[in-house]
Structure 1
Amino acid sequence: MADINDTHRVGLAQVLGGAVAFKAGNINDTYRGVIRTDTGDRPAIIKDLAPRELANEVLAAGLGLSAGLPIPPAYLAFASTDRLSTKYGPELEGGRLVFASVDVGQPQVAMLCRERGNVAVLGRLAAWAEAGRLYGFDALVANIDRHAGNLLFSGDQEVWMIDDGHCFTGPEWGHSDLMPPDIRVTNRLTEWLTPVLADRQRQLAAHRAAELAGDVGLDFAALATANYLAELLDDGDFMAVVTFLQGRQPHTAGLAAEALGMLA
């Protein structure tokens, strides 16, 4: 895994005026707008999330970016009340914190499937070289909601992983939900991606998932701190999720293999 640096962690940003709400299968209040970052203004998808789900998004993005996964650049952003009316995120003087990720301009896999048919789209996605690392990542972070709307796909080779608010067993996890660390959770990839993978693709994906599990040798407490989790969670919750990741890492390859149907 890469060292923690500004390229491989969640940044800070401000939401500019003019964001517009939209619906594309999303449950949360979501907007298209522009954020101001330390490298300039960027088009972004902005999500107004309750604190626990916001923390999930931030930590998952930081972990994925550090692992070199295709996750759009992500930001913990401040939305002042005069620029965007929000109601769920942690409240600061004059506004609230929201999650923002750069708008990469690609459609959801689910949308492509509706337009072009499952066979054509999922057949191409099955050939994606990073599919195994996706399985490994979702196993590590206990993502319970990787449906076909939570991947963006150009229809060729460009794939982006989005919407990780339902990691760590869900958006409202408590300490008991994170025990034991190897707890089995629903992996929705088994519903729609695993069935279209050929045997050789599953074998390769299991190998790549194991590689990812071996790559994440970073200090999870340091990673969480670098991605502002200490500001978003209290001490007890911070240590609970760090301990969960530390304990789950050795089981990641096996959990991913199960989702790939390799241990049935």
Structure 2
Amino acid sequence: MFGHYSASRVIKKARMPSIPLAAHLDVVELLRSICQMGGAVVRERMGMGIGVARLAAGSLGVNLGSGLNPSRMAQLYTDDEPDIRAVVKDLSPRQLANELIAASVISKLSLPAPRSFLVFAKPEDAFGSAQISHASGLKIYFGSELSSHKDFYTFFNMDAAMAFNALINFPGWGTMLAFDEWFANIDRHLKNFMYDGATIYLFDHDRVFTGPAWKPSDLVANANHQCHQLVTALHQAMTNTHRKAAKDLADAFSQLALKIDIDEALIESHASEIENGIPQDLPAVEQFLKARVSNISTLSEQRLAAGGPF
């Protein structure tokens, strides 16, 4: 149990980067360099865990639209990397925990995804509501490294029929479906996964565990959860052959997930370092993930059956 870790494990604390805040790119230079690189930096890494980074002073760039949470392009740095281009999100404590735990497990599973960071910023560099503060006085955000891959909505917006058909015929759909069932993700839509024609890349998981304001009582291991209308529409458009292929992948995923060390993933997520009630609720997350993993296949099959029996 998570509550026993202090006696049996060493909690891995965030190692604060020590590079001086000096000589960083200003906003104009940051945006120019991003444009010159085709819009992003290619650095999806599997099995890399959660990074800990600092927000470079004066590097906040474009406000990324009217999403539910303020997001900005920015430059991050660590002890080892002086220039990491990322999307930084201002989240509630529970949303940040959701992102960190999902990213840690995704890393353990070696699923394709942008690198994720726990981001620390000086108060004068903060943006949004800056809801989370560290004991040091630094503000805390979630960062996701920029990618050269486009979210699926980009392809859908160019040719909806072709994009939707490509997704229906994509064999890897079952893996993403299984992950979302395991984590009770209520918000898988066209803008929170990337697709390059061969691979799906997962990101944006602040609404796992039944939503952004979950309570331990919401985490029921065998319960069906709400899903985005995209998921239902996709399954309704699938043939029996498509659904069976997705179910086979979901079954394979469930066997892989059984091998994951959930305790270790939670420790490495840094979620225990978030105050505002998160640490005492982590045992409920631990119990939920460990119990729900044996239900992944059944839950995935039930979700796929929205398109009819198969």
Fold conserved between structures, TM > 0.5: yes
Other structure's SS at 1:148 match: coil
In the alignment, structure 1 residue 174 sits paired with structure 2 residue 218: no
User: Is this contact kept in 1: 2:91–2:131, CA < 8 A?
Assistant: yes
Q: Report the TM-score, using the length of structure 1 for normalisation.
A: 0.89
2:122 pairs with 73, 80, 91, which one? 80
Give distance in 1, aligned partners of 2:65 and 2:255.
Answer: 35
CA RMSD of aligned residues (A): 2.0
Give distance in 1, aligned partners of 2:131 and 2:109.
Answer: 27
Structure 1 residue runs of 4+, over 4 Å off? none
Match of 2:110 in 1: 68
Match of 1:197 in 2: 238
2:251 pairs with 204, 210, 223, which one? 210
Match of 1:125 in 2: 167
Other structure's SS at 1:160 match: strand
CA shift in 2, pair 1:95/1:236, >3 Å: closer
Structure 1: gaps spanning 5 or more residues: 1-5
Match of 2:157 in 1: 114
CA shift in 2, pair 1:89/1:39, >3 Å: farther
Match of 2:85 in 1: 43
In the alignment, structure 1 residue 250 sits paired with structure 2 residue 294: yes
Structure 2: gaps spanning 5 or more residues: 1-45
In the alignment, structure 1 residue 100 sits paired with structure 2 residue 116: no
Deviations 1:2-59 (A, max 9, x none): xxxx943111111113212423462210011111134412111110101000000010
Structure with greater Cα Rg:
2
CA shift in 2, pair 1:84/1:158, >3 Å: farther
Deviations 1:92-131 (A, max 9, x none): 2343111001110333222321222x21112222333321
The one-letter amino acid paired with 2:294 is P
Give distance in 2, aligned partners of 1:7 and 1:122.
Answer: 30
User: Is this contact kept in 1: 2:90–2:127, CA < 8 A?
Assistant: no
1:183 pairs with 207, 212, 223, which one? 223
The one-letter amino acid paired with 1:35 is L
Alignment of 1:154-169 (within 5 A): 154=196, 156-169=197-210
User: Is this contact kept in 1: 2:153–2:190, CA < 8 A?
Assistant: yes
Offset of 1:86 from its aligned partner? 4.1
Give distance in 1, aligned partners of 2:79 and 2:201.
Answer: 23
Answer 1 or 2: which has greater strand percent: 1
Other structure's SS at 2:149 match: coil
Other structure's SS at 1:91 match: coil
Give distance in 2, aligned partners of 1:123 and 1:151.
Answer: 16
Offset of 1:80 from its aligned partner? 1.6
The one-letter amino acid paired with 2:144 is S
Give distance in 2, aligned partners of 1:22 and 1:129.
Answer: 34
User: Is this contact kept in 1: 2:64–2:73, CA < 8 A?
Assistant: no
CA shift in 2, pair 1:119/1:38, >3 Å: farther
Offset of 1:195 from its aligned partner? 3.0
Give distance in 2, aligned partners of 1:68 and 1:27.
Answer: 28
Other structure's SS at 1:122 match: helix
The one-letter amino acid paired with 2:100 is V
In the alignment, structure 1 residue 259 sits paired with structure 2 residue 280: no
Give distance in 1, aligned partners of 2:171 and 2:164.
Answer: 13
User: Is this contact kept in 1: 2:109–2:260, CA < 8 A?
Assistant: no
**Length, aligned pairs only:** 256
